[in-house]
Amino acid sequence: MGRTAWTITERRPTRQIQVGGVAVGGGAPVTVQSMTTTKTADAEATLTQIYALAAAGADLVRCTCNEEAAAEGLARIVPRSPVPIIADIHFHHEMALAALEAGVQGLRLNPGNLRKAHEIKQVAAEAKDRGVPIRIGVNAGSLHPELYKRFGGATPEALVESARMELAYFAEVGFEDVKISVKASSVPLMIESYRLASETFDHPLHLGVTEAGPPPAGLIKGTAGIATLLAEGIGDTIRYSLTADPVEEARAGRQLLEALGLRERKGLDLIACPSCGRAEIDVIAVASAAQSALENRNLPIQVAVMGCVVNGPGEAREADLGIAAGRKRGHLFIKGKIVRVVPEDEMVEALVAEAEKLVAEGVEARLAAADSGAEAEAEADRMALIDAKGVDANASETKVELIRKKYGGEHDET
């Protein structure tokens, strides 16, 4: 809401493809993907999860298509899905053809598992006729044995060569509607593989650290790989691969893109101080309560929870809205300006109410509606805390002057 938009490295130019109505590459916004964990044959359960993923920020959703019943499920899912559906194919090219018949808007083929040239070309030709893009989904854990032998293991060169070989099959039937991934569970290998892929291909790249594991370690690994590449301008669509509810994947992907300034904020960004000896409240508990109360309201604002009024409003002055604790009261502020003082036990309730009004009415209107005398009350609380607990770090120059007056010059060399 009015903050300066800082940018990272300019994105690498790529071709653009269309997955249903969603553009990928070619300067389009970086998209978020996830994958359902339900049985695709159970169309109702899968659709329920797809809707949850879309609500959490997924632009595209992948579903496995490993049997005839799954393809039948896709035929029922695709027309009712809120986002384009990509069918995940591993060993049976017939399932790719069935998924195309079901109407999916994209395919993912693993070249390490689907290896027969005539089958790959048959799928590509059918996808071309239907205008359906394919992701070449290379995985370090399932490379063709010949590539392991030729390159001495799963190296960046081996992963990129796997994608290049698949592209060559596609070229034979004139199919170019492609995006590429070169995933690995090792973050350094993943990063180097994508760097090489970005130098080798002009197709859009799908980023991910495969088999990252459960949170929080899985989130850390995924972020380490994906964010590093995005900051270098590499990557057009992303997926966190977590051992968790896939909604966590979609939410993490959206939050990462918003944090990097690659997507416009559509949800909450809650910041909070790490707490210290000056804190007048349990910052962790209040921040957690505020997060729970606000995150499902889809308010596109930054909210700050600060432990004390000594530095809180100043340190979080760029936040759209915040609250700081002091002397058993909460000091509600908008863009660093105190607008209301409330009892400590009403802090979260007041924060939520003001957040909804702020989004509905705008900053200027809410600043105009500030309680008279709120700033004076807050300043009185602040000064009382400074007197009780000592001058904070922002008054360090006063201490410096005292030191100079008391001790300066006493030890000068003569």
Distances 35 to 16, 52, 163, 180, 405 between C-alpha atoms, Å: 22, 11, 22, 17, 67
> Does CATH place domain 269-396 in 3.30.413.10?
yes
pLDDT of residue 382: 73
Angle at 323 between CA 321 and CA 328, to 5 degrees: 165
**Tell me, what's the pLDDT at 411?**
56
66 phi and psi, to 5 degrees?
Answer: -115, 0
Give CATH 3.30.413.10 domain extents, the chain: 269-396
Mean pLDDT by 10 residues, the chain (414 residues): 59 96 96 97 97 95 96 97 96 95 97 90 97 96 92 96 96 97 97 98 97 95 98 97 95 94 86 66 81 85 81 76 82 90 89 93 93 83 68 58 74 51
Q: How far is CA 133 from CA 84, 126, 170, 253, in A?
A: 12, 11, 11, 22
Domain limits, CATH 3.20.20.20, in the chain: 16-259
Model pTM score: 0.82
- What confidence score (pLDDT) does residue 375 get? 84
Per-residue pLDDT at 8: 73
Query: How confident is the model at residue 383, as a pLDDT?
Result: 79
- Which architecture does CATH list for 16-259? Alpha-Beta Barrel (3.20)
Query: For residue 377, what pLDDT is reported?
Result: 80
